[in-house]
Chains A and B, each alone.
Chain A
Amino acid sequence: MIGALVRNETRKTLKRLATWVTLGFFTFVLVMSFGGEYFDARREPDETFALPSAWSEILGEQSFVGLVFGSVLLVLLISSEFSWRTARQNVIDGLTKEQWFVGKTLLLPALAILFVGVQVVIGGGFALAGTDLSATSEPLMGGLQWKAIGGLLLAWMALGSMGVAAAMATRSPGPAMAVWFSYVALGENLLRAGLSQLGEWIEPALRFLPFALARTLTVYQRWQLPAEGPIEEMASRVAVVDTGTLVLANLAWIAFFLLVSFLWFRRRDL
């Protein structure tokens, strides 16, 4: 059945105009951004946009834009299944609710790989074009970059799982996007401000709010720790410094949002 789910989700995603519009716009933003860096470096002798140093920009905090684009697409792909009543028809056609949910969950890693892949290829491509290969002794890509890519994928999955929950709760594209955007743009900050009124004792827990944790994964420099950066300085910029804790906490939030989504989906009539 997994094969059938993969084929169906692939067909539905690739044939949808929204997929190509989102991906096209994301590509345009990347080309403008990294292309600008590349041409600036060619014009200004002091500027460089070459591998491997350019990875800090390619895989850095600006990759958050990709997370937003991708999550919007994910929310749209899932919530419209309810407004079109195709989720109901899929179950009538023979899928169990569990199988339907698994099909949607497969979109999370698939879209994460697609969006992060586009980012790496376009950013890496421009940086490679600006690299004097004969003058570079360092490897163009190594363990550090793979860790950062892994972090990006995990951040993507974390924000995406929040999108899945918003889509399952509202079952409508507009409200689902509104809920997701509201939380990411404002909701968590308000929540943090509200909870911090409870006292200092809660401050350590507030570092583990889902959006802050996911965003920490996009800070490229944190993957250089402890070898290349002072931990104290990093601690002021990110929610959680320890990699193991950070990864586990993000995985826990992903599991939580997917579990809640599934329970909502299973409990309610279609």
Chain B
Amino acid sequence: MTTESVIETYDLAKHFRKIRAVDGISFRVEPGQIFGFLGPNGSGKTTTIGMLLGIITPTAGSFSLFGGRSEHASEIHAARQRIGATLESPNFYPYLSGRDNLRIVANVKGKTEKDIDHVLAVVGLSRRQKTRFKAFSLGMKQRLALAATILGDPELVILDEPANGLDPEGMREIRHIIAELSELGKTIFLSSHLLGEVERTCTHVAIIKEGKIVRQASVKEITSETTIAGLRGGESPETLKHFMEVYPGAVSARVEEDTVIVELADADLSTLNRFVADRGVYLSHLALRQRTLEDVFMEATGGGEGGMGEIAEIA
């Protein structure tokens, strides 16, 4: 028996005249997952979330939320009562205070003043609750949006770029809140372009490019598929790259400045070292690191070559 999904889409599509913003995507989010929804700007992330939240009408396909099908208005409306979400930038009444804005949300969600106190404390806005929204910094606006999102004690939290405008401390707090929500058993659907944040926070990811899902797996699975190595040695990097292209354990190879970046199917460095030595090349530098989500993202979206970043030198 399969568990009921929290979100499931079936060839969901949205076309704006000739533009296929979302082009028949299917994915599934299970209860308790922290699901990262990644993609370059304009790839269809917000449009997809907008369809799930009922503010954008799909052109084709369908979806279900907590088992309620999008074709049945009453089912989907009931399911949406179990969701807290913020889309793109925080949208509030600029002339109302932070607390009054939350009162508007609380009225809709049937929550009390005490609940407002609680979420203000969670996001650290208790002392600024009487300040008008228009006087908030971007970071405070993001916190207020997060407060509104979790106000209804939702089972599914959808966050679209929640770390936008936050300083490192603010981002750490958001990560902490997401982790706490996850511990409480909430399902979290997180759209973000901060790949490091997603890798640290999410359990599963889907990568969308030009309206299509190009990759979907658990973060663990996606980052442990291969290992990245940086090599230097021999007369030129091009020669080394040529050898790496024919090395049986290499998935891909490219040159970055004077270093050859190799994606390896396993981390058997002694075999690799012997392989190049047999061809008369002796490595002066060999560094290894785990494949990151950024590497996967760049490969999947064709967004350029990933840098070696935090290579841990082992030789």
Cβ proximity bits A247-270 to B, threshold 8 Å, 1 near / 0 not: 000000000000000000000011
Alpha-carbon distance between A17 and B96 when the two chains are bound, in angstroms: 10
A102 contacts chain B at the CB level, 8 A cutoff: no
> How extensive is the interface on chain A, given as a class?
20 to 34
Hey, which chain B residues are within 8 Å of A8, CB to CB? 104, 107-108
| A89 partner, pick from B91, B109, B152, beta carbons under 8 A | B91
Closest-by-CB residue of A relative to B87 is A92
Closest-by-CB residue of A relative to B77 is A96
Number of cross-chain contacts by CB at 8 Å: 68
A46 contacts chain B at the CB level, 8 A cutoff: no
A91 contacts chain B at the CB level, 8 A cutoff: yes
Instruction: Check A94 against B91 for contact (C-beta < 8 Å).
Output: no
Alpha-carbon distance between A89 and B57 when the two chains are bound, in angstroms: 16
A95 contacts chain B at the CB level, 8 A cutoff: yes
Hey, which chain B residues are within 8 Å of A4, CB to CB? 107-108, 110
Alpha-carbon distance between A96 and B54 when the two chains are bound, in angstroms: 8
Hey, which chain A residues are within 8 Å of B103, CB to CB? 11
Instruction: Check B108 against A269 for contact (C-beta < 8 Å).
Output: no
Interface residues of B in 91-106 (CB under 8 A from A): 91-96, 100, 103-105
Instruction: Check B54 against A86 for contact (C-beta < 8 Å).
Output: no
| B108 partner, pick from A11, A84, A94, beta carbons under 8 A | A94
Hey, which chain A residues are within 8 Å of B89, CB to CB? 85
A138 contacts chain B at the CB level, 8 A cutoff: no
B232 contacts chain A at the CB level, 8 A cutoff: no
Interface residues of B in 121-156 (CB under 8 A from A): 148, 152
Hey, which chain B residues are within 8 Å of A95, CB to CB? 108
Alpha-carbon distance between A109 and B86 when the two chains are bound, in angstroms: 32
Instruction: Check B85 against A92 for contact (C-beta < 8 Å).
Output: yes
A42 contacts chain B at the CB level, 8 A cutoff: no
Hey, which chain B residues are within 8 Å of A12, CB to CB? 93, 96, 104
Q: A94-B81, A95-B108, A269-B50 are in contact. Are A88 and B93 (CB under 8 A)?
A: no
Chain B nearest CB: distance from A92 CB in Å? Answer: 5
Hey, which chain A residues are within 8 Å of B109, CB to CB? 93-94
Q: A12-B93, A12-B104, A15-B95 are in contact. Are A88 and B148 (CB under 8 A)?
A: no
Instruction: Check B100 against A88 for contact (C-beta < 8 Å).
Output: no
Cβ proximity bits A144-179 to B, threshold 8 Å, 1 near / 0 not: 000000000000000000000000000000000000
Q: A92-B55, A269-B55, A270-B56 are in contact. Are A85 and B107 (CB under 8 A)?
A: no
Closest-by-CB residue of B relative to A94 is B108
Closest-by-CB residue of B relative to A100 is B108
Q: A92-B53, A269-B57 are in contact. Are A11 and B104 (CB under 8 A)?
A: yes
Hey, which chain A residues are within 8 Å of B212, CB to CB? none
Alpha-carbon distance between A94 and B84 when the two chains are bound, in angstroms: 9
Interface residues of B in 58-105 (CB under 8 A from A): 77, 80-81, 85-87, 89, 91-96, 100, 103-105
Hey, which chain A residues are within 8 Å of B91, CB to CB? 84-86, 88-89
Closest-by-CB residue of A relative to B95 is A16
A237 contacts chain B at the CB level, 8 A cutoff: no
What are 22 A-B interface contacts by the 8 Å CB criterion? A4-B107, A4-B108, A8-B104, A12-B93, A15-B100, A84-B91, A84-B94, A85-B89, A85-B91, A88-B91, A89-B86, A89-B87, A89-B91, A91-B53, A92-B53, A92-B86, A93-B108, A93-B109, A93-B148, A94-B80, A96-B54, A269-B57
